[in-house]
């Protein structure tokens, strides 16, 4: 391939491309679209959570589990900040969901560090906590 053609291709390992990969994952998560996870999650994915490490299948099951607990919309997640350092993308986000059982709105705050190589999230660390609203 001539150099001029390569110059016109987007760099899948650029900081903006790495951020876009994570945003794609967030959109797939909100939609519960586990059939499209191959776009951003490779077979050798490793996730580190407070509940322990998980593989790709464990991540898929986690999405299904949380979709059984909460109702999501395409706008459930708001990315507040994203920073890139080499292969890692750090994302601070907020999720606005509703309990399937009660319909109560719930706000969750999350921090994710995703290691992204060649357009795939190969490893990630994340934590979520529920925002407690003061009772008036």
- Specify the CATH number for the domain of residue 98: 3.10.450.50
* pLDDT per residue rounded down to tens, the chain (136 residues): 455 445 666 799 999 999 999 999 999 999 999 999 999 999 999 999 988 999 999 999 999 999 999 999 999 999 999 999 999 999 999 999 999 999 999 999 999 999 999 999 999 999 999 986 645 4
For residue 78, give the H/E element and its range: strand 77-85
Q: Are 89 and 75 in contact (CB under 8 A)?
A: no
Residues 92, 83 contacting (CB under 8 angstroms): no
Q: Are 26 and 40 in contact (CB under 8 A)?
A: no
Q: Is residue 10 part of a domain?
A: yes
Q: Does 12 map to a domain?
A: yes
Residues in the chain, overall count: 136
Q: Count up the domains in the chain and report the number.
A: 1
Domain contains 136: no
Structural domain contains residue 63: yes
Tokens for 8?
């016109």
Q: Residue 126 sits in which domain range? A: 3-130
Q: What is the pTM of this model?
A: 0.87
> What Å distances lie between residue 60 and 3, 19, 39, 101, 135, CA to CA?
39, 21, 13, 22, 35
């Amino acid at each position: 391939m001539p150099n001029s053609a390569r110059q016109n291709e987007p760099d899948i390992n650029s900081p903006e491309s790495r951020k876009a990969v994570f945003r794609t994952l967030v959109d797939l998560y909100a939609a519960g679209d586990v059939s499209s996870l191959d776009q951003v999650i490779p077979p050798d994915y490793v996730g580190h959570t407070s509940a322990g490490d998980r593989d790709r299948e464990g991540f898929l099951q986690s999405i299904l589990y949380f979709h059984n607990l909460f109702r999501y919309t395409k706008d459930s997640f708001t990315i507040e900040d994203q920073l890139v350092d080499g292969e890692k993308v750090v994302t601070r986000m907020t999720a606005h969901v509703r309990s399937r059982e009660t319909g109560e709105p719930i706000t969750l705050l999350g921090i994710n560090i995703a290691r992204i190589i060649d357009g795939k999230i190969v490893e990630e660390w994340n934590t979520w906590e529920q925002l407690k609203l003061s009772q008036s």
